[in-house]
Structure 1
């Protein structure tokens, strides 16, 4: 029974050491008690621009479908991948599309090299529609990023890499996809790692405060990495667990002996 006492004591220690205050886990807090219901202007909305090594999906349509198909060489592969996914098969894993080369160009049927680096997807659509008027009647073009992904690591429920289909994701959405920050994660010091123009930036966001909406790291960029570091309660939990582990093993051994008798 002595082992049982140690087991109970150890579990109590873990329980007390992992206590976390409400202030540490509450999102979007404000220092002003009168700010409830107050609206604020949305700032820093992010629109991605095309960079070297981006992969673009470009789809062309016009009044003549047969003529349009000449400008959609990857459409067949995409349809196969969609069909396989709908039927529970493993879809085509290769990313198909137009790779932006080191000079910021893509090679497009009939048009040859087209400079797209630095443009938004909307501006690129307008550019291609204008160029394709020489070949198609009333062409329409859709352009989307195929490699807009963000990674979420650390103290979240489901760390993973997530694709962004609509060219925009904020840190709240990324954490939601990852199952939210665990009870042990630090909400006041979330790290965003970003690579732009050959430089790596490190930004910190306090999810507890409403000021996060004004942060330049609130809207995520392609290939951003979000890292949630563990808090002191996680470290204390781990320390306590390994401290009482021998007692737990001893208690389980005792139970096994009693059951056998």
Structure 2
């Protein structure tokens, strides 16, 4: 009778442990799913999606400026640029030192172009810069076609991602999800509810916390990144536990011992 009661108690303990294991595993799965507040199998139309604001040119930016004219030789003279050595990663397989060509914006916000002279571009979007350069180029060339793009629009992703690095992207319309995609997504240990965004504004650092588990991110003013933004993904508690191998081994041994003990008592 006593052995039967002991067996029943251990069965109850085993059932409780199993239920707790299911509970914790379901909670863990919920934490690693992006935007888990959205209903399943339902079409969602976001009425208040984030508005994209064109980035503005700043000092120390590198700008690709292309001027096309009817005279090919004139175009070649106008498009002479400066090659600047930059450190970063333009792709996952190209990490290290790379040469980026472009017109460097000086500390006063000007670029210096052959024949056109100095033009102030700081504070302008690429569209506005194109209009300003075209206006000045029209004094020397007939109907010039001007194209302006960032040559060093870079973002940095650090922490618990597959490929932490600095990425130079050709597209100015880059979202938080785009950046995480470039970095190979978060690892299983990354805290999705507490992503840190570091942004440089007029020499000051702006720190913002983003929650990848919440669909409000799509309407956040920080959904679209700006040049030189940094995303940091903090490791969760599971990372610390995984790094503590001795503790993990000890817990595994205790679990194995309890399992053997339960089997032994159930067979008595």
TM-score of the superposed pair, with normalisation by structure 1: 0.76
Q: Deviations over 1:2-44 (max 9, x none)?
A: xxxxxxxxxxxxxx8x95622101112226x499313124323
Task: Establish whether residue 47 from structure 1 lines up as the match of residue 54 from structure 2.
Answer: yes
What do residues 202-257 of structure 1 show as CA deviations (whole Å, max 9, x unaligned)?
Answer: 11110011001122221111111111111111112222x133679x9xxxxxxxxx
Q: Name the SS of the counterpart of 2:100 in structure 1.
A: coil
Q: Work out which of the residue numbers 235, 243, 247 in structure 1 matches 2:247.
A: 243
User: Secondary structure of 1:165's partner?
Assistant: coil
Checking the alignment, whether the CA contact within 8 Å between 2:241 and 2:248 is kept in structure 1 is no
Q: Is the 2:162–2:186 Cα contact (8 Å) retained in structure 1?
A: yes
CA RMSD of superposed structures (Å):
2.8
Select 2:44's aligned residue among 32, 38, 44: 38
Deviations 1:33-87 (A, max 9, x none): 4993131243231311011111111111011112111101139x79xxxxxxxxx
Residue number in structure 2 paired with 1:187: 192
Check if 1:72 corresponds to 2:76. no
Aligned residues: 218
Which runs of 5 or more residues in structure 1 are unaligned? 1-15, 79-91, 249-261
Q: How does 1:22-37 map to 2 (within 5 A)?
A: 22-30=29-37, 33=39, 36-37=42-43
Structure-to-structure mapping, 1:1-261, within 5 angstroms: 19=25, 21-30=28-37, 33=39, 36-41=42-47, 42-74=49-81, 93-239=98-244, 241-243=245-247
Asked which structure has the greater CA Rg, the reply is 2
2:67 touches 2:147 (CA, 8 Å); kept in 1? yes
Q: Are 1:68 and 1:136, in contact at CA under 8 Å, matched by a contact in 2? A: no
**Structure with greater strand percent:** 2
Partner Cα separation in structure 2 for residue 193 and residue 35 of structure 1: 34
Aligned to 1:6: none
Query: The residue matched to 2:241 in structure 1 has which SS?
Result: helix
TM-score, length-scaled by structure 2: 0.74
Distance in 2 (CA, whole Å) between partners of 1:96 and 1:244 is: 51
Structure 2 gaps, min length 5: 1-20, 85-96, 253-268
Q: Secondary structure at the match of 2:98?
A: coil
Cα deviation digits, residues 181-202 of structure 1 (max 9, x gap): 1111100001111111111011
Distance across 1 between alignment mates of 2:164 and 2:130: 34
Q: Which has the higher contact order (CA 8 A, sep 6+)?
A: 1
